[in-house]
Amino acid sequence: MKAKELERTETINIDLSRNLGFTVTNLGTAPLVRPIVNITASPSKVFVDTVGSTVVDRPYHNHLSFTNIPDLPPNETPYAFPVVLTVPSDIDEFRIEFAIFGDNHKTKAVNLHFAVGKR
């Protein structure tokens, strides 16, 4: 779904047995220079990790930054940011903020509400 469609969706049902992926395409006319992506979950008991790399004792485990991303040229192939979520069994709903910015672009953030399905 596109960002505007996602923001209008009240709740997204999530299957925790699968990874969650965010995909970004630069729809502008200039490259996004030195982009940084921040993904933050709340409540803070929801952990966010990169696929294949979980650090159990990482501080601020509900926040993940992607850095060292190549510049994103305009109208090119989408760039993916796959993550693994660890949601405690006592959490039925949570929020995620996906934010991206670069040296030549202000922050664009999308706030999403998730409901956990069957475990």
Burial state string for 50-68 with b = 16 or more CB within 10 A and e = fewer than 16: eeeeeeeeeeebbbbebee
How many independent structural domains does the chain possess? 1
* pLDDT at residue 9 greater than cutoff 70: no
Positive or negative: CA dihedral 12, 16, 18, 21: positive
Residues 73-85: tens digit of each pLDDT: 998 789 999 999 9
**Residue 25 is part of a domain; what is its CATH number?**
2.60.40.10
- Tokens at 53, concatenated: 């790399």
Confidence of residue 60 (pLDDT cuts 50, 70, 90): confident
- Note down the domain range covering 12: 3-116
pLDDT at 16: 81
